[in-house]
Amino acid sequence: MPSALPSASSFRELLRQRNYLFFWASRWMGGLGVQVQSVGMGWEVYELSRRAHLSVNYASFNVSLIGLITFAPLFFLALPAGVAADHFDRRKVLMACYAAELVPAAMLTAAELFHFASVPLLLAVALIFGTSRAFLYPAMTALGPMLVPRELLPRAIAWNSLAGQFSSIFGPAAAGLLLIASPAAAFAGPCLLFVAAFVSIVQVRGVTRPDRHPGSRWEMMKEGLVYVWTNQVVFGAISLDLAAVILAGAMALLPAYARDVLKIGPEGFGAFRSAVAVGSAGMALLLASRPIRSQAGLKMFAGVAVFSAMTVVFGLSRIMWVSIGSLVIMGAADQLSVFVRQTLVQLKSPDAMRGRVAAVSTLFISASNELGEFRGGLVARFIGPVNAVVYGGIGALIVTGLWAKLFPALRTADRLE
């Protein structure tokens, strides 16, 4: 069998994979629920903080705490979650996670309906939500490759990215509209979406449980860590994302830019969040139709460099269309690097170890996203949101050049096959 099917043929083959289609739908609806809920939480924490007469700097810091608290469970549970994904039925793990995600969504809805929402409550809910997500991502990443033939995996990964990007496009826009109606509506929507994701994943049939591992849980965790640490391509790819996004992460500061820098309100905040996703989805569609054939490592580094540079542009901009444009390019560049990283990591990971490798990768990625938001909010507390964004982007550019020198095997990675 050839290593890669022709473009049109492989797409048609992917559409014939019934289990994968239900998996994709579940991933999209679950991701959409996460996006709506996270945007709603960020805006509500910022709004409640400003109503309490806190400064822009303090309010930005409070928003960044959501990311830190969401990440905290993952820090402690990533390795056990990876073992669970490599030991138990991955479909059932996802079912349990979607059911658990209903709890924080329902709590937030009730808090808004009965008027007892507060910043401490929203942060407590973030902790519950983070616990569920710690187990969901490794199981989801490990299950996907079980549902398609190996030659379809790169294209399936591209469409998995599209599911996330479609969620990121429609989620923030929908959240902005729902927030205008009422904060309760912005939290009730995710409840319905998590139910739909649960129903969809139930429809997946076939073998969804990995082969039993003969060793103990501790040996399984140790084996996964050793594999990631000793594989220069895998470790270099996920650590680059960690370092660059921690420095250049600006998502937690978007409420400050929308409300107080550009003064464009919740509609503008939703537009900011959607702009990143529009760029990501555009790049994901391009990669789904025209997969990368060569120089994958260099293209990944180029994506990270452009992402960092556009962060600086966004930080300095005071013109709406320039800000939106820079966010669109940021999203496209980030998607390019994400696609290469995910494909390299999944292709180089044996199925029996895929959950643990995914758990370590998820830990690094979530650390970059959540700690990046916390870093932005913390720095904004002292030097303001604008300086926090600009200096972070400059730092990420420096890191990109350093990683290109430290990880030559990643830089010279060629074909994604």
**pLDDT tens, residue by residue, 325-375:** 999 999 899 888 877 887 777 766 666 666 677 677 767 766 666 667 777
Q: What is the mean pLDDT of residues 236-256?
A: 80
53-70 core/surface letters (b: 16 or more CB in 10 A; e: else): ebebbebbbbbbbbbbbb
Q: Are 164 and 381 in contact (CB under 8 A)?
A: no
pLDDT at 292 over 80: no
- How would residue 4 be classed by pLDDT, with cut points 50, 70 and 90? very low
Other CB atoms within 10 A of residue 8 CB: 9
Alpha-carbon distances of 268 from 43, 80, 177, 391, rounded to whole Å: 12, 40, 11, 24
pLDDT at 215 over 70: no
Give residue 1's pLDDT: 32
Query: What is the per-residue pLDDT for 312?
Result: 92
Report whether pLDDT(394) > 90.
Answer: yes
Please state, as a whole number, how many other Cβ atoms lie within 10 Å of the Cβ of residue 118.
Answer: 13
pLDDT at 321 over 80: yes
Most confidently modeled of 59-73, 198-212, 384-398?
384-398
Task: Please check the confidence at residue 402 and state whether its pLDDT lies above 70.
Answer: yes
Q: What is the token pair recorded at 63?
A: 């928003």
Residue % of the chain over a pLDDT of 90: 15
pLDDT at residue 112 greater than cutoff 50? yes
Domains present along the chain, CATH in parentheses: 18-202+214-411 (1.20.1250.20)
Nearest one of 377, 167, 150 to 280, comparing CA atoms = 167
Predicted confidence at residue 329, as pLDDT, reads 94
Q: Which amino acid is at 80?
A: P
pLDDT for position 179? 85
Mark 131-166 as b/e (b = at least 16 C-beta within 10 Å): bbbbbbbbbbbbbbbbbbeeebbbbbbbbbbbbbbb
Distances (CA, A) of 314 to 40, 250, 259, 309, 325: 22, 9, 15, 9, 9
Which distant-in-sequence residues (6+ apart) come within 8 Å of 302 by Cβ? 333, 336
What average pLDDT does this structure show over 214-223?
Answer: 61
Cβ pair 277, 168 in contact under 8 A = yes
Q: How far is CA 265 from CA 43, 167, 174, 177, 274, in A?
A: 10, 22, 15, 11, 14
Question: What are 347's two structure tokens?
Answer: 């292709």
Read off the pLDDT of each residue in 151-163 and give the average, rounded to a whole number: 77
Calpha distance 374→371 (Å, rounded) = 5
Instruction: Give the percent of the chain with pLDDT over 70.
Output: 86
* pLDDT exceeds cutoff 90 at 194: yes
Task: Quick: pLDDT tens for 127-142.
Answer: 888 888 888 888 888 8
pLDDT tens-digit series, residues 41-95: 888 888 888 888 888 878 878 887 887 788 788 778 877 888 888 888 889 999 9
**List of residues 6+ apart from 364 with CB closer than 8 A:** 238, 239, 241, 242
Nearest to 342 by CA among 108, 55, 141, 165: 141
Of 3-17, 37-51, 165-179, the least confident = 3-17
Per-residue confidence band for 308, with pLDDT thresholds at 50, 70 and 90 = very high
Grade residue 201 by pLDDT with cuts at 50, 70 and 90.
very high
Whole-Å CA distances, 279 to 192, 292, 329: 27, 18, 6
Q: What is the pLDDT of residue 211?
A: 65
Closest CA relative to residue 318, chosen from 386, 253, 233, 391: 386
- The pLDDT value given to residue 244: 84
CA angle (68 as vertex; 62, 73 as ends), nearest 5:
140
Contacts of 385 (CB under 8 A, 6+ apart): 56, 57, 60, 253, 256, 257, 261, 376
Mean pLDDT of 264-293: 78
- Residue 178's closest CA among 168, 189, 169? 189
Helices (H), 144-248: 153-181, 183-202, 217-230, 232-248
143 confidence band (pLDDT: 50, 70, 90): confident
Find where tokens 């260099």 sit: 298
The confidence band for 3, taking pLDDT boundaries of 50, 70 and 90, is very low
Residue labelled with tokens 């609806």 = 29
